[in-house]
Amino acid sequence: MVLVAQGRGGRYVDPAPINFNEHSGWTRMFDGTSLKGWDGPADLWHVENGSIVVQSIADPQTPSTYLFWKGGQPKDFEFSMDVKLEGDGANSGVQFRAQMLGEVEGKPMSKWESLGYQADMDNYPITAGNSNVGALIECCAGPRRGTPPRPDRAVAGQIVRTAIAQGQKPTLLSTFGETSELKRVWKAGDWNYVHLIARGRTMMYSINGRLMSVLIDDNPTRFLDHGGLAIQLEGRGANKASFRELWIRNLE
Break the chain into its structural domains and give their ranges.
37-247
pLDDT of residue 81: 98
Model pLDDT, residue 185: 96
Question: How far is residue 132 from each of residues 16, 40, 89, 179, 246, measured CA to CA in Å?
Answer: 30, 24, 12, 10, 22
CB burial of 194-209 (b: ≥16 within 10 Å; e: otherwise) equals: bbbbbeeeebbbbbee
Cα–Cα distance between 141 and 138 in angstroms, integer? 9
The pLDDT > 70 percentage for the chain reads: 93
Q: Sorting pLDDT into bands at 50, 70 and 90, what band is 9? A: low
Task: Give which of 237, 55, 60 is closest to 47, Cα–Cα.
Answer: 55
pLDDT tens for each residue of 167-186:
999 999 999 999 999 999 99
Q: Indicate if the pLDDT at residue 18 is higher than 90.
A: no
pLDDT value of residue 74: 97
Q: Over the stretch 191-229, which tens digit does the pLDDT of each residue have?
A: 999 999 999 999 999 999 999 999 999 999 999 999 999
Of the candidate ranges 3-7, 91-95, 98-102, 200-204, the one whose mean pLDDT is the lowest: 3-7
Q: Provide the pLDDT for residue 247.
A: 98
> Alpha-carbon distance 182 to 144, whole Å?
32
Percent of the chain at pLDDT exceeding 90: 81
Phi/psi of residue 91, nearest 5 degrees: -135, 135
Distance (Å, whole) CA 198 – CA 97 = 9
Q: What is the mean pLDDT of the chain?
A: 92
Q: Does domain 37-247 have CATH number 2.60.120.560?
A: yes
8: pLDDT strictly greater than 60: no
Do the Cβ atoms of 124 and 88 come closer than 8 Å?
A: yes
5 or 111: which leads in pLDDT? 111
Are 42 and 151 a contacting pair, CB within 8 Å?
Answer: no
What does the pLDDT average to over 43-60?
96
Q: Which residues face 48 on adjacent strands?
A: 51
Amino acid in the structure at residue 54: V
Amino acid of residue 170: P
Rounded to the nearest angstrom, the gap between the alpha carbon of residue 4 and the centroid of all alpha carbons in its chain is 43
